[in-house]
Amino acid sequence: MASGFFAILDDIAALMDDIAVTSKLATKKTAGILGDDLAVNAEKATGFLSSREIPVLWAITKGSFINKVIIIPFIFLLKWLYEPAITYILILGGIYLAYEGVEKIIEILFHRNKKGHEVVEESALPEEDENSEKSKISSAIKTDFILSLEIVIIALGTVIEKQHPLLTQILSVSFVAIIATIGVYGIVALIVRMDDAGFFLMKKSGNKGFFSGLGQVLIKALPIVIKILGVVGTIALLLVSGEIFLHNIDYIHHLLPENIFSKLGLGIVFGLAAVLVMLVFKKIVNLVKPAKK
């Protein structure tokens, strides 16, 4: 009886050891995409009123956890039913990321609001702010879904290479997914509250000395950091999408070298194509609507 109990403990210890080793390898493999994930999501979670930053970030974080709860069983099921479908889904996700990246560039270059043309009735502002916030949260969760999908697939590829049992695969991939979410959004939370930390340091130091100076630096640095994140986040969208195309489309994989320029170029080309398709689609919809009347 006692020997059976210790045998179970030994099996559990062996399983935990396998999960720890496999999760470590998978985390290393996903480090690059986690960096891009951080840049993209930090950019998505900024630009709100100070009082709304944490609620918005929490809403995106919950959405990220839900994404992974959906993705992990779906990917394992798809791997069992029809594994090539995972590649097709990744490519579609890459097109979405490329579209988002190019759309942001077009927005900055051609559709930036001019000063003096931003007059809006005050009564409309609260509702518009609420709709804008919901729209940004929704966009952030959709983008997180694609990034989470790639993280899960890369982690799964690592555990499959080591030929671990199914239970070890599921637990390892789940562990990496949870750590990725906590790590990325934890750092994002620190970034968006830099100004609060600065005010706290200034208050505690009585606006004197080193800590007061550090607080002032944090406050002044936040707008700069947000602008940098906006640029880095857009570039990250294009790089991640380009990497998806480069790794999952055989013709492109053999045609182009694997470097940052290839990835960025692919992201821009596919993004421009996606934007063009959407413009044509919207034109067709607008032409059809009057005909129905």
SS3 call for 14 = helix
* Rounded Cα distance, 266 and 246, in Å: 8
Say which residues have a Cβ less than 8 Å from residue 113's Cβ, sequence separation at least 6. Answer: none
pLDDT for residue 127 is more than 70: no
State the amino acid at position 222 in one-letter form. Answer: L
Taking only the tens place, the pLDDT of each residue in 61-87 is 899 899 989 998 998 888 888 888 888
In the predicted structure, residue 176 carries a pLDDT above the cut 70: yes
**pTM for this model (two decimals):** 0.70
Rounded to 5°, angle at Cα 182 from 181 and 186: 115
Token pair in block for residue 283: 């034109």
Task: List pLDDT tens digits, range 53-65.
Answer: 778 888 888 998 9
> Residue 156 burial by CB count (10 A; 0-12/13-18/19+): exposed, middle or buried?
buried
Average pLDDT over residues 211-234: 81
* Predicted local distance difference test score (pLDDT) of residue 270: 95
What is the signed CA dihedral for 149, 155, 156, 158, rounded to 10 degrees?
150
Weakest-pLDDT range from 87-96, 220-229, 236-245: 220-229
Exposed/middle/buried for residue 162 (C-beta within 10 Å: 0-12, 13-18, 19+): middle
Residues 263/59, Cβ–Cβ less than 8 Å: no
